[in-house]
A and B are shown apart, each in its own frame.
Chain A
Amino acid sequence: MAQVLVVTSGKGGVGKTTSTAALGAALAKNGQSVVVVDFDVGLRNLDLVMGAERRVVFDLINVVQGDAKLQQALIRDKRADNLFLLPASQTRDKDALTEAGVKVVIDQLRDKFDWVICDSPAGIERGATLAMRFADMALVVTNPEVSSVRDSDRIIGILDSKTEKAERGERMEKHLLLTRYDAARAARGEMLKTEDVLEILSIPLLGIIPESQDVLRASNMGSPVTLNSKTSVAARAYYDAAKRLRGETVVMSFPKEKRSFMGKLFGRRVA
């Protein structure tokens, strides 16, 4: 039975696309068949983060409008056999997506894959509501920072009212993915702690992804961090989160980033 997962946040730049790619790849490496779908029409980036930007021929809108078959638009990942990308259109605008059209595509994907991961655009407009519309569960990506937490709270409200599942009167399953977390700063009282964010948003925690230089390096290389540097703290946290998505119980460990002596001395910190 396929699971349709929307990765959403309200705020931009918190790590939706990075997390979609990393979790998709982690699930695929563990034997699941996965498609990651970019809903950010006009500002697509999942193709770039996945390193497939030069292989895009047809996109989600071509499929929705019947100009291409789903099979023609799906791009198979070169590093993981059972990982596919359905890119967004870069040239059209978001109005080209219709609710009925999206439903048809999602239903087709459900038949073919174990996981359909929808990468939502930022904001609370049409693109974002369409990305979550047919989801079975939601991953709310949040940074430990006031504006991100506020926007996540708003998105949680929308997940509970505007999704098809919510409208059927069912409970929308929501999980928190806390990204760019810096345990040292949280311990010093400079950053919201995990407990603070959990208490405020009151949804269960799927994982904590530590701030890590490997994430930027992976996106530079066009590879999900879970494929590009499998042993990095961020990748291990994503692998754990992927296991929890499948219902496994994994202890919420918090791997520390190794810092060189010189790094400690000069306290390097890259945004």
Chain B
Amino acid sequence: MSLLTFFRKSSAPVARERLQVLLAHERLITGKSDLIATLQEEILAVIAKHVAVDRDKVQIKLDRGATVSMLEIDIEVPAAVAVEPKLEPERETEDAA
């Protein structure tokens, strides 16, 4: 073992720690990905009934803590023009048909 390697900090513990942090996070996400996708679709559908929103402006996150879990829903609603609900005569005729 040369002097150089003797003084170099070992990298394996860094790898181990990075993996532990990353996988703790990823296991939650992949385990719950179906739930998140379903929530996203359904929430989007409810909002779209009343407000025209951009699909990409709806963010849904689920954080699982030891004691508390948090469902975070972040919806960016466009400026006043679009907030007017699209009412509704045409829709009703559609429904009737």
Indicate whether A and B interact.
yes
| Interface residues of A, Cβ cutoff 8 Å to B | 145-146, 149-150, 153-154, 157, 186, 188-193, 196, 200
Contacts of A196 in B (CB 8 A): 12, 15-16
**Residues B19 and A150 in contact, CB atoms below 8 Å apart:** yes
B15 x A192 contact (CB < 8 A): yes
Whether B23 lies near A200 (C-beta < 8 A) is: yes
Q: Are B1 and A188 in contact (CB under 8 A)?
A: yes
Q: Is the CB of A150 within 8 A of B23?
A: yes
Set of chain A residues within 8 Å of B31, measured between Cβ atoms: 157
Q: Please, how many residues of chain B have a CB less than 8 angstroms from a CB on the other chain?
A: 17
Q: Which residues of B contact A146 (CB under 8 A)?
A: 15, 18-19
Which residues of B1-60 have CB atoms within 8 Å of chain A's CB atoms?
1, 5, 10-13, 15-16, 18-20, 22-23, 26-27, 30-31
- In the complex formed, the residue of A with least CB distance to B31 is A157
Say yes or no: B20 contacts A189, CB within 8 Å.
no
In the complex, the answer to whether A153 meets B11 with C-beta atoms within 8 Å is: no
Given contacts A188-B10, A191-B12, 11 further A-B contacts (CB under 8 A): A146-B18, A150-B19, A150-B22, A154-B26, A154-B30, A157-B30, A157-B31, A186-B12, A189-B11, A196-B16, A200-B20
Q: How far is the CB of A185 from chain B (nearest CB, A)?
A: 8
Q: Which residues of A contact B10 (CB under 8 A)?
A: 188-190
Closest to A195 in B: B16
- The chain B residue sitting closest to A193, CB to CB, is B12
